[in-house]
Amino acid sequence: MEVRVIATLQAKPDSIDAVHEIIEASRLETGNLQYDLHRDMDKSGSFVFFERWASSEALEKHNVTEHFKRFVSQIDGKLESLEIKKLKKIA
């Protein structure tokens, strides 16, 4: 079953570049169907990741990759807020 993830984050002003680092490696992962980063046009430093994974297992594998762990350590202390939602499409 496909899993979708929407992660919304507000980066501190000096931390905006860190959010770009994970995209390409994640797109190459087996089970990744979509991995896009969006910038809020009205609020500086506000980003939304939209991800689609082939299964919960593919998402779990992503969460333990070296590039994901490196990303988590790079943004540690550099965010004002972070909200992650795992979604299942129903219609």
pLDDT of 21 over the 90 cut: no
User: Which amino acid is present at 23?
Assistant: I
Identify whether 52 is part of a domain: yes
Identify whether 24 is part of a domain: yes
Q: How many residues does the chain have?
A: 91
User: The domain containing residue 41 runs over which residues?
Assistant: 3-85
pLDDT at position 20 is: 72
Burial class (CB in 10 A: 0-12, 13-18, 19+), 65: middle
- Residue 63 CA to residue 57 CA, distance in Å, equals 10
pLDDT of 14 over the 80 cut: no
Identify whether 90 is part of a domain: no
Identify whether 91 is part of a domain: no
84 to 9, 76, 77: CA distances (angstroms): 9, 15, 17
pLDDT average, residue stretch 60-80: 94
pLDDT at position 13 is: 78
Whole-number percent of the chain with pLDDT over 90: 79
What total number of domains does the chain contain?
1
CATH number at residue 44: 3.30.70.100
Whole-number percent of the chain with pLDDT over 70: 95
